[in-house]
Amino acid sequence: MTLLTLKATVLSIVLLALALAAWSFATQPKEGQPPGGRVPGPAKVFVHAATELTDPFYDNGPNDKGIGIQLAYSIGRVLAGYCLAALLAIPIGFVIGMSPLWRKALDPFIQVLKPISPLAWMPLALYIIKDSITSSIFVIFICSIWPMLLNTAFGVAAVRKDYVNVARTLELGRLRTAFSVILPAAAPTIFTGMRISIGISWLVIVAAEMLVGGTGIGYYVWNEWNNLNLNSVIFSILMIGLIGMLLDLSLARLSRLVQYAD
């Protein structure tokens, strides 16, 4: 462990302690306020978390499933939509990055579709697909595709011309040049787009599941709010943040495998 890492770790622990202290102070009962009428403090939330995590995969019916099951549903939907988006976005991004003609032809469509909120597609998806789970996956697909497509196109277009010229000198075909020269050079930028997409996907799935209900961490949060169980609401918020961090770290570790020294 380097000195910088050690200092950063100590600082993180100090900031966490200060945040917990501020949370605890802010949730102290006020004079005349009933005990059940306030936001729970960290101690109550951590006790509740310990109880939930002792059996995270229990299943007592449609409206009473453990946090582990709810997270598994959400992660599965995110990965399904995310992988479908990657299968489409990366090849199209390659074409856009390598061809100025296709870049100019597709740019108006991208600029119109990219700013549309993914959740705006949900009513149309529900009407056409008529299945809430598939509609959620479609929404994740829509929100994931743009960062990967644009970063792939940018990374491919930014590959140094020297690399491409060397490939031409060696008389490599376009397909072999794309896989042997351009893909390795553009891979760090492509993975940056993939990291952005996974973060956006995890954000969107929570809102999508709140709309469609049924299962998933978004539905879990909304259901616990309807039950006025703030311990579960805060606990699920913390779990959403933890899973999001783990998804990003997974992509970050994969991206290190394709980094290279220029």
262's tokens: 């220029």
Q: Tell me how far apart the alpha carbons of residues 63 and 152 are, in angstroms, rounded to a whole number.
A: 41
Residue 36 has pLDDT above 90, yes or no: no
Q: Please report, for the chain, how many H helices and E strands are present, in that order.
A: 11, 0
Q: Which domain holds residue 156?
A: 73-256
| Confidence class for position 135, pLDDT limits 50, 70, 90 | very high
Pick 27 or 80 by higher pLDDT.
Answer: 80
150's tokens: 């644009």
pLDDT tens column, 84-96: 999 999 999 999 9
Taking all residues of the chain, what is their mean pLDDT, rounded to a whole number?
87
CATH number for the domain harbouring residue 125? 1.10.3720.10
Residue 143 has pLDDT above 70, yes or no: yes
In a domain, 128, yes or no: yes
Mean pLDDT of 62-69: 85
In a domain, 153, yes or no: yes
Count of domains observed in the chain = 1
In a domain, 11, yes or no: no
Statement: the pTM of the whole predicted model exceeds 0.85: yes
Give yes or no for a contact between 40 and 235, defined as CB atoms under 8 angstroms apart: no
So what's the pLDDT on residue 74? Answer: 94
242's tokens: 């933890």
In a domain, 145, yes or no: yes
In a domain, 249, yes or no: yes
Mean pLDDT of 17-39: 78
| Confidence class for position 33, pLDDT limits 50, 70, 90 | low
Q: What is the CA radius of gyration of the chain?
A: 23
Nearest one of 196, 99, 106 to 157, comparing CA atoms? 99
In a domain, 195, yes or no: yes
